[in-house]
Amino acid sequence: MEFRQDRQILEELGARFKQTRLLHELSQEALAEKAGLSRDMIRRFEKYGATTLTNLTKLCRALGETAQIDLLFQQAPFSPKEAFEKKERKRQRVKHVRKRKTHQSHNGA
């Protein structure tokens, strides 16, 4: 797995967002008005990738792309409670009862 610096991840996020905005044929000014944010905030986000989650949500909503937010953290296949309970129910081995050998007396008979 490739290790990327935080700055690289954020800049890539901003660039991807810009591509999405352009696919929607919106200028930064038009998107800013639609999202209720400043054009400078959008410009900084697209260039550096830094913004708040609240602003990212507003931008995605303005573009009709809120499904993209769902991709950030996929829902676990089971809840943390189920994971804990599963951990508590560790698999146990079946205990076999050994049969005792009976010793016969050796009296020479």
Cα distance between residue 34 and residue 21, in whole Å: 12
Sign of CA dihedral 8, 11, 17, 19: negative
Domain 6-88: give its CATH architecture.
Answer: Orthogonal Bundle (1.10)
pTM: 0.64
Query: Rounded to an integer, what is the distance from CA 68 to the centroid of its chain?
Result: 12
Find the helix or strand (DSSP H, E) in which 46 lies: helix 39-48
Domain regions of the chain by residue span: 6-88
pLDDT above 90: residue 30: yes
Q: Report which residue type is found at 69.
A: I
**pLDDT, tens digit, 9 for 90 and up, residues 55-108:** 999 999 999 999 888 887 777 676 667 766 766 665 566 666 666 666 555 555
pLDDT at 10: 95
Of the candidates 79, 8, 64, 69, the one whose C-alpha atom is nearest the C-alpha of residue 34 is 64
